Amino acid sequence: MRQDHEHLGRLLRKAARAFEAELTVQLQARGYPDIRPGHGALFANMDAAGTRAYELARRARMTQPSMAELIDDLEQKGYVVRREDPSDRRGRLVVPTERGRRHMEDARAIIAEIEHSWLERLGPNQGEALLEALHQLAGDRSPIDRSLQRPH
């Protein structure tokens, strides 16, 4: 292995930041000028019907106070609201507003575009190898293994 390259962790972080930066620029161009990369921690972990704040924090692997700051910010910007949890009136759900739902749909479309563009730049062999390697490093079963699974 070459010793003159950046270590894997740094390269993965750089790639993730480049992906987030491209996503943010495109979201801002589509009418979301107040969105920043950190907001993804909430949007990527929120269920369409709403999610409790502690669950958002757990899924995002961040502290509850940090998630509360994100929720406050996005609530103030009109992307989410807090509502009573119908399954437990003592709890509150963080629910996307209409603007939040549009943002999430646009973000999914942009993510797919970026992914397609990046994989196209790598070519079919390198792109598939990258996906397979990232699944393995993340502890996921390989995409090939998952496609062969039969429903129980």
For residue 22, what are the domain limits?
A: 8-145
Q: How many domains does the chain contain in total?
A: 1
**Taking 60 as the threshold, does the pLDDT of residue 143 lie above it?**
no
Query: Which CATH number does the domain housing residue 62 bear?
Result: 1.10.10.10
Position 32 in a domain: yes
Q: What are phi and psi of 34, to 5 degrees?
A: -95, 10
Helix (H, G, I), strand (E, B) or coil at 41: helix
Q: What are phi and psi of 50, to 5 degrees?
A: 110, 155
- pLDDT tens across 52-89, in order? 999 999 999 999 999 999 999 999 999 999 999 888 88
For the whole model, what pTM was predicted?
0.80
Weakest-pLDDT range from 24-28, 90-94, 101-105: 90-94
Position 150 in a domain: no
Position 23 in a domain: yes
